[in-house]
Structure 1
């Protein structure tokens, strides 16, 4: 059995630890910059080894795979260090801050023959397998257009991770990565054209944006992101014969499909929202233990490339890049 460790015992780490337990996985260690927090986390989940900082976890010879739950500004150094210590890595989104960091990581992982993956729930929810089968069968025709809205009001505090440039803040790297991952899952190629507009926070990071993506085949996607308003988390995939509506698309368990020719609508259900992180665990185990194709990594690379292009258009960069 794989032995897991968690780096950074924050809120998402609590959910992931619970998912590991539900899957019957061995959670061997936790690393925390604040050891008291690490000890409390270990008590909650019966974790036998607690390390102050991350180095002890990475040097632990019994740890096979680490889950990184720190803010994305710190992912690159931690992932590279983990790979150099022979650990497989599952890192929270966004997996890195830019495409160059991801290139370095994937090159090192290939050299070390290790698996590195982004913990992107969208890629693993069972509903999307069902929807792709429906699309492949031609039920909604050729996909032409996608529309995605992801908006979430954040407290206007320049020091928090959402708006702090030293922590790679901004809506794009926080919620935009979900919207772009959804789009990439349904279009044929990485977009050839990227057009956008942005509203910046006083700190200089993006807090609201409108994005248009177009593939070389002519598929078009429109995305709105905002930290200034709240709205339903919704995505629509539109084909020549129908369309698919997905509410709460980041962890969806059902979708509404409208068939234009028949004039009818049906609801497709698959998977459970509450098991989103369990599906991530299963996918990571498959990659490590069964050597299956790493189909999500090319999507992750494409999304990172799109975000690089957007930040270049917006003239947003971080001092540590």
Structure 2
């Protein structure tokens, strides 16, 4: 029995990514992902997610052109590991390079606006990791800069880019599922209290459940709602450091569609989403980078498995969407509107709980 429980236990994100890359390593890369003209990319930051992007791109036979990092030694090691051509000493040197078309920002949440200001003002397109900014005011500023300089800004939250959700939303819009009534989303991690200076609990690093894992749940909820929720009630528990540790959230929009979200940084929960419609409900496990969902039909209880995309290419989809948006794809450009709606919700929720970061004081 214990072996069965262990085998079924959810993997952490890094382990899941390694397994996904291994599963895709010997497959031909799909020809329908990168369809727009290729841009030359540089990355700021070379932590876990930047390494995953480089590994994901390698499956497509592509490489990042340049890298900048606060610690040059790490940038050099990253460049050697992934065949990156340029290592910059400063972000300003990166911004000034005319060879760079687009910048991928992977640094901690509370540094994003600084790099967004520099990159957008230099006329670079930007893909920025979640949480794209600390709050709605920062995102409004970044959007204004992108508009002023005629470049594309895109949120890298995987939910916005996975083909599975694009396919399910297409079918929903076509009326197959009937009216969407309720979205229920869980996401729980177990992070030890031992070191409260780590990024999960440290307010100086914009810690807390909302910006780390809540962005996934709220993004998926918002994608399937007809409009932004206008009513929000919640309870949030704070860690000893003052950041949000756990929360229960209920939202409703003008159409009467409900969203129910539970989050925790100190209790393991399945990453499980259930989107309920008149004619069916859709269940998605491990939903941040999901490539498979199950539809359970109301009339007879029959089950339909939907597969679309592949987890290993999650970060390629992000980059491909930005390139498509730069090429004029209006459907990809509107993804930032969903990100803004989510950021407004997260900002409101943190304000309700009294979670304020040093940069916001």
Q: Where do 1:192-207 residues align within 5 Å? A: 192-207=230-245
Q: Deviations over 1:83-103 (max 9, x none)?
A: 111111100000000000001
How many residue pairs get aligned? The number is 321
Partners of 1:255 and 1:267 in 2: how far apart?
A: 6
Partners of 1:17 and 1:67 in 2: how far apart?
A: 11
Q: Does 2:314 align with 1:312?
A: no
Q: Does 2:117 align with 1:64?
A: no
Q: Which runs of 5+ in 1 are unaligned?
A: none
Where 2:270 maps in the other structure, the secondary structure is coil
Partners of 1:113 and 1:81 in 2: how far apart?
A: 14
Q: Deviations over 1:122-147 (max 9, x none)?
A: 11111112212332333332111110
TM-score after normalising by structure 1: 0.97
Partners of 1:28 and 1:240 in 2: how far apart?
A: 48
Specify the alignment match of 2:70 in structure 1: 33
Q: Where do 1:85-96 residues align within 5 Å? A: 85-96=122-133
Q: Does 2:318 align with 1:280?
A: yes
Q: Is the 8 A contact 1:140 1:239 kept in 2?
A: yes
Partners of 2:152 and 2:166 in 1: how far apart?
A: 22
**Structure 1 residue 26, shift from structure 2 partner:** 4.9
Where 1:93 maps in the other structure, the secondary structure is coil
Q: Does 2:85 align with 1:55?
A: no
Specify the alignment match of 1:303 in structure 2: 342
Q: Is the 8 A contact 2:188 2:271 kept in 1?
A: yes
Partners of 2:308 and 2:126 in 1: how far apart?
A: 27
Specify the alignment match of 1:183 in structure 2: 221
Q: Where do 1:127-276 residues align within 5 Å? A: 127-156=164-193, 157-276=195-314
**CA-atom RMSD in angstroms:** 1.2
Partners of 2:262 and 2:224 in 1: how far apart?
A: 17
Where 2:341 maps in the other structure, the secondary structure is helix
Q: Which runs of 5+ in 2 are unaligned?
A: 1-37
**Structure 1 residue 231, shift from structure 2 partner:** 2.0
Specify the alignment match of 1:113 in structure 2: 150
**Structure 1 residue 189, shift from structure 2 partner:** 0.7
Specify the alignment match of 2:8 in structure 1: none
Q: Deviations over 1:127-183 (max 9, x none)?
A: 112212332333332111110000011122211111111111100000000000000
Partners of 2:338 and 2:173 in 1: how far apart?
A: 19
Partners of 2:275 and 2:299 in 1: how far apart?
A: 16
Partners of 2:120 and 2:176 in 1: how far apart?
A: 43
Where 2:65 maps in the other structure, the secondary structure is strand
Q: Is the 8 A contact 2:192 2:266 kept in 1?
A: no
